[in-house]
Amino acid sequence: MRTVEPTLPIARIAAGDARRTARHRLFCAEEGRRIPPRRYRRTGYGSRMPIPSAVREAAVARIERFCTDHVPEDARADLRLEHAVRGSAITLVERRPPWRPDPGAEWTSQNIAQLRYDERSAAWRLHWPRHTGQWLPYEGVAAARDIEPLLAEIDADPDGVFWG
**Residue-wise DSSP of 16-76:** T-TTS-HHHHHHHHHHTPPPPPGGGS---TT-SPPPPHHHHHHHHHHHHHHHHHHS-GGGT
Q: Tell me: the pLDDT tens digits for 123-133?
A: 999 999 999 99
**Predicted local confidence at residue 47, as pLDDT:** 45
In single-letter form, the type of residue at position 146 comes to D
Q: Tell me: the pLDDT tens digits for 15-26?
A: 444 445 555 555
Helix (H) or strand (E) holding 150: helix 148-156
Least confident piece of the model among 5-14, 21-30, 125-134: 5-14
**Predicted local confidence at residue 46, as pLDDT:** 44
The answer to pTM > 0.75 is no
Q: Tell me: the pLDDT tens digits for 40-96?
A: 444 554 445 678 899 999 999 999 999 999 999 999 889 999 999 999 999 999 999
Domain boundaries, the chain: 10-40, 53-156
Q: What is the mean pLDDT of the chain?
A: 81
**Predicted local confidence at residue 12, as pLDDT:** 44
Is 159's pLDDT higher than 70? yes
